[in-house]
Chain A
Amino acid sequence: MDNITNGFFGALELILSGNREVYGIIGLSLVVSFVSVIISMFFSVPLGIVIGMNRFPFRKAVIMIINTLMGLPPVIAGLVVYLLLSRSGPLGYLRMLHTPQAMVIAQVLLVSPIIIGVTLAGVKDRGNLIQKTAFTLGANRCQALWTIIKECRTSIGASLVAGYGRAISEVGAVMLVGGNIKGHTRVMTTAIVLETNMGNFDQAIAIGIVLLVLFFILNILLQKYQGA
């Protein structure tokens, strides 16, 4: 019990005193996850719209694969990226392993199925009607696509928030491809694992509190989007 109490008060002190290491870890986590979601957004949202609105052979199988990948274990995503980026891998010459860029690639792999899946579910019922309406009013393809995005913005917003939640909370992939290097690739989740193993509960709890608060904010955003 003492561990928890002391850790909690130590954590508050670390947060309030503006500890550089803790805030550096928080900052990197936020940036890596944000960049991953933004990169993924550019292809996942249009892909979700296209799959949601069109009938094509094996569509059901494609949706089933996306739904399966939504639950993709992070360590598997990490393993794939690790194998690709390791020295003997096909992309080894890029020397990206154990860098924030590698973490972004792994997180893009993880969040894309979520963004595609949630967007797809949001547009499949209304998308065609919106497209037809836009089309009958003279919109071209780009204008119709932009109208669909605007009209389905709540679903798309929810998909991005859900994707961000997934990215910032996962530990396996970033641990594998980032290497948890202090001041370089250490993010909130990997830091919690490390500090707990080392018995530095105050630092682990401090980061845990921030992660929890962040999740609370993400949930508020998600509910706002879903309720809108």
Chain B
Amino acid sequence: MKVQISGLCKKYDGKPVLNIDNLTFEQGRIHVIIGPNGSGKSTLVNIISGLEKADHGTVAYGSNQKRFEEVRGSITLVMQHPYLFNTTVFSNIAYGLRCRGADKKQTELLVKEAAEKVNLSAFLTRKAATLSGGEMQRVALARALVLKPELLLLDEATANLDPESIGIIERVIRDFQTATGATVVFITHNIFQARRIAERVYLMMGGRIIEEGSKEKTFGNPESRITREFLRGELIF
């Protein structure tokens, strides 16, 4: 799903946190947004996912430029600190399907398939609260992917995770994107991770997009001086 943003502004307590003139996330690609803390990355993703409203500007979804309400069921967001419901891993993954009224057999099949992708098949009957941080994040990812979204948003979904979980999550996202042709918008602080998974890279600072381009161009020959300084000196994990 293509996402077109124009004239997007957001202020918190009168202080501008987001100011984007034009930005397009093309369909079927993995877009990675990098930038320091407070640069507006999460606010942008929250607005795209409908969790927050912009003060000004529009976000249009798909080639027909639909409104959020029309495509809501095709968008999912995985947060940095996901909230897992106080129930089993199975029920957590099945949540969105049950909300959509999927039948029991289909739900069971899809949940098992999603759990297998994130290496959690053996955990389905376990209480979500007993899982480690990495396992919880994998449940959150499976819970989002089971809905087969056309737009998958990930807000620092691998921050502070163990390398094994990071590897699994990156592999699953790549496989999912290849298999479904979905659009993925991935926020990360980790420049190495951005190099690994990105097709398009965006550097955000002060609520604005400073640099935008292919992975090769952004990391190999960035246009902006700020991007060069950011990539050279301030590697943030």
A residues whose Cβ falls under 8 Å from a Cβ of B: 126, 129-130, 132-140, 143, 147, 150-151
Chain B interface residue count, CB cutoff 8 Å, equals 20
Is A151 within 8 A of B51, CB to CB?
Answer: no
A129 to B49, CA, bound (A): 14
Contact of B72 among A126, A138, A147, A150 (CB under 8 A): A138
A151 to B95, CA, bound (A): 13
A132 to B79, CA, bound (A): 10
B83 partner residues in chain A, CB cutoff 8 A = 126, 129-130, 132-133
A119 to B143, CA, bound (A): 28
Is A136 within 8 A of B51, CB to CB?
Answer: yes
Q: Is B184 an interface residue (CB 8 A)?
A: no
In the complex formed, the residue of A with least CB distance to B100 is: A138
Binary CB contact string for chain B from 2 to 27 against chain A (1 if under 8 A, 0 otherwise):
00000000000000000000000000
In the complex formed, the residue of B with least CB distance to A130 is: B83
- If A130-B83, A133-B82 touch, whether A139 touches B99 (CB-CB below 8 Å) is yes
A143 to B98, CA, bound (A): 10
Is B95 within 8 A of A137, CB to CB?
Answer: yes
Is B51 within 8 A of A143, CB to CB?
Answer: no
14 more contacts with CB within 8 A, not counting A135-B50, A143-B99, A151-B86, are A130-B83, A130-B85, A132-B51, A132-B79, A132-B83, A133-B82, A136-B79, A137-B76, A137-B95, A137-B96, A137-B99, A139-B95, A147-B85, A151-B85
B32 partner residues in chain A, CB cutoff 8 A = none
Is B49 within 8 A of A136, CB to CB?
Answer: yes
B77 partner residues in chain A, CB cutoff 8 A = 136
In the complex formed, the residue of A with least CB distance to B84 is: A133
Q: Is B167 an interface residue (CB 8 A)?
A: no
In the assembled complex, 16 residue pairs joining A and B whose CB atoms fall closer than 8 Å, in A order, are A129-B83, A130-B83, A132-B83, A133-B83, A134-B95, A136-B77, A137-B95, A137-B96, A137-B147, A138-B73, A138-B96, A140-B99, A143-B99, A147-B95, A150-B86, A151-B86
